[in-house]
Homo-oligomer: A and B are copies of this chain.
Amino acid sequence: MSRTRARLSRPEKDIGSPRAQELRLADASRGSVSHLTVNRVSLYLRSLRQLTGEGVSRVSSEHLSRICNLSAAQVRKDLAQFGEFGVRGVGYDVPRLEQQLARVLQLDRVHNVVIYGMGNLGTALARFPAFNGGSFQVVAGFDRDPAKIGSASSPIPVFAPQEVPRVVRETSATMAILAVPASSARAGYALLAEAGVRAVLNFAPVVLPAVAGCRVKNVDLRVPLEELAFYDQPAR
């Protein structure tokens, strides 16, 4: 169907485009996609990998939607934002869609990650399989406590905070995980952003306002736990 660009502004046929299979994303600005959609794409990819493991080679939007506990229309709408991956009357090719979604999420390359704050949570995340292998690689940690510096008790080398600029540069880390107390989170984020880190996953219980050039995602683990507490019926 070769619709590679400018659907809305130019409904013309667009003949002669280089590859019909090109991701629609190449032109559509990444910023125009809702983070809700992006998060669901993570689920789809996860499910596709599971299906691949089970030897399933074709899947319908209805099938995928059941696995992810969503509506089939939702799945189709989400996928359609990035290209025409399916075959009408048939469904989606599992390994093919898997590869395309990995590309959409930029998981077809390795992202080097540093962890700022090697306490309880930071150390656990340094060992976390999902953050070590495949598309992410934890390459270094930082901690203010001199006792933690070195490579002894930790799965990764740990440095002092003032080493951030050098280590980030030398490892080409583009992402960071902030796992410090609330009081040092803002300074840590500023330091990482300054050093050239482009995205930070913040586990500290503060809302960090984004600094230009360095995206933040705040993920206080208390929040989902408190959500569950809220809905817990008091009648017992």
Contacts and interface: CB of A to CB of B under 8 A. Distances in A.
A198 B124 contact: no
A201 B217 contact: no
A231 B136 CA distance: 15
A125 to B, nearest CB: 8
A9 interface: no
Interface string A205-236: 11101000001010111111111111111101
A232 B39 contact: no
B222 A217 contact: no
Interface SS of A by simple majority: helix
A38 B123 contact: no
Interface residues of A, number: 61
A120 B124 contact: yes
B111 A229 contact: yes
A10 interface: no
A106 B220 contact: no
Contact of A105 (B68, B219, B226): B226
Contact of A230 (B30, B198, B200, B230): B30
Interface in A14-49: 30-31, 33, 35, 38-39, 41-43, 45-46
Interface stretch (A89-97, A126-134, A158-166): A126-134
Contacts of A217: 224, 227-228
B67 A207 contact: yes
A50 interface: yes
Interface in A30-84: 30-31, 33, 35, 38-39, 41-43, 45-46, 50, 67-69
A139 interface: no
Contacts of A182: 50
A104 interface: yes
Given A50-B182, A106-B230, A42 B223 contact: yes
B106 A205 contact: no
A140 interface: no
A107 interface: yes
A107 B45 CA distance: 36
A219 B228 contact: no
